[in-house]
Amino acid sequence: MKSRGLWVWLLSLAPAPVFVLALHVGAYPISLTELWQALTPGSGVPEQLRAVILQVRLPRIVLALLVGMALSLAGATLQAVFRNPLVDAYILGLSAGAAFGCAVSVAFLPAWPVQICAFACALLAAMLTFGLARTRAEVPTLSLILAGIVVSALFTALVSLIKFLVDPHKLASIVFWLMGSLSLADWHTVMKALPWIAAGALALWLSRWRLNALSMGDQEAKSLGVEVGRERGFFLLAAALMVAAAVSVSGIIGWVGLMIPHLVRMLVGPDHRRVIPLSMTLGAAFLMLSDTLARTVTGGEIPVGIITTVCGAPFFIYLLKRGGQESWKL
């Protein structure tokens, strides 16, 4: 109990050292002195080095930070709204929905920003999953997960259909992007995702206490003065917004949203006034670290989705095994 305060500090500061580490290592190692010099103008650092840092490595790290934050926040929000610690955007089909939206946009609506279509489809997926899982006023844990699998499968099939229909040039770009990677990051990509993720994060940050009420279930939330339908809509909207922006720039990266909020709750307790901000920072730190591994562990590039899954799947099994005795039951 006493250690909670310490964890709050550690988790809030976690992104800083990871950020520096991520800048430091890579195919072209950069020493800390060089880093410092590159960031201060007129210090005589070779242009090439400065370009590597400012145009290649920095935007990629910033994008990892944004996407990690978005996925983790969306996970924390969905877990509270659905009273179910075992879900995230990936499991509930929001990611697949957003991917479908992106594919549709790339294939048929080249003039539109991809995020609009991705957002609409992510929201549609969320509502489908919720609608399928809901029996009267309850949303049972297992049916929610099953509904998520069904909705995910549906949208994944639709993405395949689009892949089948589009011309080979577009097909290549869809396939590459779907793998879940941050290797295409540049400042342009960062700026495409930033406003959406920032808007969603701000909305959640400001209303985070209300997630505690919503997580009590419909009837009790109502008795606490919550307009349940409207507020659930608000939170799903914010989650879908962030997931859509994340998927549109980095493809489907699973498990971050499931794992990070869980870890945060284990360390500092379930109060969403703390869970939301700390999921944000830990999510950012985790994805920056995973992406650093993805681009340094082997000679080439591993899609970062592989790293998050390799961490996430065993974690999920651990949660299942531990379930019932701790914070939740299946």
Query: Which residues of the shown chain bind another protein in the complex (CB under 8 A)?
Result: 1, 80, 83-85, 206-207, 209-210, 212-213, 215-217, 219-220, 222-227, 265, 269-271, 273, 326-328
One-letter amino acid at 323 equals G
- Per the structure block, which two tokens stand in for 18? 């990871």
CA distance 12 to 250: 24
Closest separation in Å from C-beta 25 to another protein: 38
Residue 205 CB partners (closer than 8 Å, separation 6+): 276, 277, 280
Q: Which is nearer to another protein, 4 or 188 (CB)?
A: 4
Tokens of 161: 């259909």
Q: Which is nearer to another protein, 97 or 200 (CB)?
A: 200
Least separation in angstroms between residue 24's CB and another protein is 37
- Please list the residues that pair with 135 across neighbouring strands: 138
DSSP letter string over 8-61? HHHHHHTHHHHHHHHHH-SSS---HHHHHHHHSTTS---HHHHHIIIIIIHHHH
Length of the chain: 330
Give least dist CB 270 to another protein, A.
4
Nearer to another protein, 17 or 229 (CB): 229
Between 186 and 326, CB nearer to another protein: 326
Amino acid at 303: P
Measured from the CB of residue 222, what is the shortest distance to another protein in angstroms? 6
Q: Which is nearer to another protein, 166 or 216 (CB)?
A: 216
Rounded least distance, CB 82 to another protein, Å? 9
